[in-house]
Structure 1
């Protein structure tokens, strides 16, 4: 899952902000590797538990292993939450990335940006979208390269002079914004000029352009993908918790076995030796004892230092 998501993000990295984080796919890849390692080790422990001589070497390692399993399960649950909560960060990433990508749409002759036009066009065709938030976003940028503008034309000069930044802005969109399902030929230029087209009103008529913005389309695509992955990760988390519970029962059952030489004899296993409240209190008391022990050691070291700094008084009797 992590590799698939990473590849999908890499495909459209040009229309994403540079600060776009690959935390989710990297975490999923790490989780997959650790899951294979933990489950393989758990299977080996369960298999060796049938032989008392083999299980003896695993016995001192079971408690540390269960502690690691606990933190690993917490890590899996955290990844599942991230899969569901990354929508806001992803939306910001797409918004800035698409906005910058559209600015470079015309730079077909600039090294490093020459494929941006193809990327944007393929994106709008594949996801049936137009612009960042909608087709009007194309009205605010110059998406036609200066190479294809006739600067001797009065119309071109007037449009450039009328713009503060000296850009050639038109109320038009690239061809990839056109909806091929529309019965009318695509109107991609002078979209807001009713008099330029026969029987046309851009405010009331359904345009033959994609109305949905690419940010919304990509956000829906990636959000649904990560939500599905989050559900799968939650299922894996439940499986790993069941494995940890089974190992805990196996550990306590083998420790309380009456005859270790007979693995088929009956024994009792438990998750907690005491109730949940008592276990929590015992853990707090243990932490307090550790804190007090550290304080006593620090006090003893300070007292030794004070004694060492004192000079013994010598009295001379004549």
Structure 2
């Protein structure tokens, strides 16, 4: 029994072909949108690539770019097919191509769904990449004289100012690393030397943060040195002075920024998948209804269209049987079709003796005489 059988008249078939022609051209535009979204996401990730670890998170924008290009090509061909299918005689030139086209489009729509799911599943990898990348960038914040790292101070400062964040998880992350270069430390001061000697690794660690961590909304001048020392500042309590510094970590701020972009792109890809699936369903109905018209021989007659000619289980069993048959046909038979009693006579001259000569061919003259 056919799955979702629908009866089509000549008028309904023509209208279906015309609507599908328009929808395929709309799908070409959606493919261009997918390509643009993938390109936009790739640029956004590369824009702050120095703040991310070297993890492969580019597969999502790369897949969106590839899916967008394939969508343009497939739907352009689909628009041409549907335009010609308005005339039943022109359908004959596409008859053999329709089924492979539908199968390829089905797998393509599946790839679109995978792309949408990948957009929602890349949060974990993105968070880990940002965590490792920001930690490394903060470690090299002081290396302004080192080639290849001299730009990191400006990058981190601009990040903290733009996203109103401080540190990786918070401002206290700066307490655990030396972010002031030894070049700017006065070794003649006893306090500086004592701090260097008190640290096992010889690092100059202070309870201070870079200027870019200062909250511009603070009613008092920013306190970025001796943050935990209440007696060093007048009328100051570091546990309650939340307006003094940005309290949010940069990893969280960047993750929220990218999550908004990724979720918006994922929603757009999911809508595109639903649209492509509806177009594929219409093309399948058009193909089956036109093939039934050709069987009937009357182009103006009614015809049935369906998604599957048989039920899902019957279709699965049939395809499985076809696969098994192809597998058996590809095997080399070395046992005479499994019957060892069958002897195949050899035509080699070595098997013919003087009393066992091959049969003589009858000439045309002897046939005439007989």
Query: 1:49 touches 1:55 (CA, 8 Å); kept in 2?
Result: yes
Q: How far off is 1:19 after superposition?
A: 1.9
1:96-111 → structure 2 map (5 Å cutoff):
96-111=132-147
SS of alignment partner, residue 253 of structure 2 = helix
1:55 and 2:91 correspond: yes
Q: How far off is 1:248 after superposition?
A: 0.8
Query: 1:2 touches 1:28 (CA, 8 Å); kept in 2?
Result: yes
Query: 1:258 touches 1:267 (CA, 8 Å); kept in 2?
Result: no
Query: 2:117 touches 2:266 (CA, 8 Å); kept in 1?
Result: yes
Specify the alignment match of 2:214 in structure 1. Answer: 178
Specify the alignment match of 1:116 in structure 2. Answer: 152
Specify the alignment match of 2:173 in structure 1. Answer: 137
Task: Choose from 273, 280, 286 the match for 1:250.
Answer: 286
1:31 and 2:84 correspond: no
Q: How far off is 1:293 after superposition?
A: 3.5
- 1:36 and 1:47 map into 2 onto residues whose CA distance is 16
SS of alignment partner, residue 256 of structure 1 = helix
Query: 91-100 vs 141-150, which deviates more?
Result: 141-150
1:271-290 → structure 2 map (5 Å cutoff):
271-290=307-326
Note the aligned Cα RMSD (angstroms).
2.5
Q: How far off is 1:20 after superposition?
A: 4.1
1:160 and 2:196 correspond: yes
Specify the alignment match of 2:24 in structure 1. Answer: none
1:11-26 → structure 2 map (5 Å cutoff):
11-26=47-62
Specify the alignment match of 1:146 in structure 2. Answer: 182
Tell me how many residue pairs correspond in the alignment: 308
1:202 and 2:238 correspond: yes
Flag the 1:46–1:147 CA change in 2: closer, same or farther, 3 A.
Answer: same
- 1:145 and 1:11 map into 2 onto residues whose CA distance is 26
Q: How far off is 1:18 after superposition?
A: 1.4
Q: How far off is 1:262 after superposition?
A: 7.0
Flag the 1:267–1:130 CA change in 2: closer, same or farther, 3 A.
Answer: same
C-alpha deviations, 1:73-94, integer Å up to 9, x for none? 1111111111111111111000
- 1:264 and 1:213 map into 2 onto residues whose CA distance is 70
Query: 76-85 vs 14-23, which deviates more?
Result: 14-23
- 1:255 and 1:176 map into 2 onto residues whose CA distance is 70
- 2:82 and 2:139 map into 1 onto residues whose CA distance is 60
C-alpha deviations, 1:150-177, integer Å up to 9, x for none? 1222111111111111111111001110
- 1:302 and 1:109 map into 2 onto residues whose CA distance is 79
Q: How far off is 1:302 after superposition?
A: 6.0
SS of alignment partner, residue 268 of structure 1 = strand
1:222 and 2:266 correspond: no
1:292-307 → structure 2 map (5 Å cutoff):
292-294=328-330, 297-298=331-332, 300-301=333-334
Question: So what's the TM-score if we normalise by structure 2?
Answer: 0.78
C-alpha deviations, 1:29-66, integer Å up to 9, x for none? 11110111111111010011123443322111111111
Specify the alignment match of 1:212 in structure 2. Answer: 248
Unpaired segments ≥5 residues, structure 2: 1-36, 345-349, 353-370
Question: So what's the TM-score if we normalise by structure 1?
Answer: 0.90
Unpaired segments ≥5 residues, structure 1: none
1:71 and 2:107 correspond: yes
Specify the alignment match of 1:41 in structure 2. Answer: 77
C-alpha deviations, 1:210-248, integer Å up to 9, x for none? 111001111111112111111110100011111111111
Q: How far off is 1:201 after superposition?
A: 1.6
Query: 1:130 touches 1:177 (CA, 8 Å); kept in 2?
Result: yes
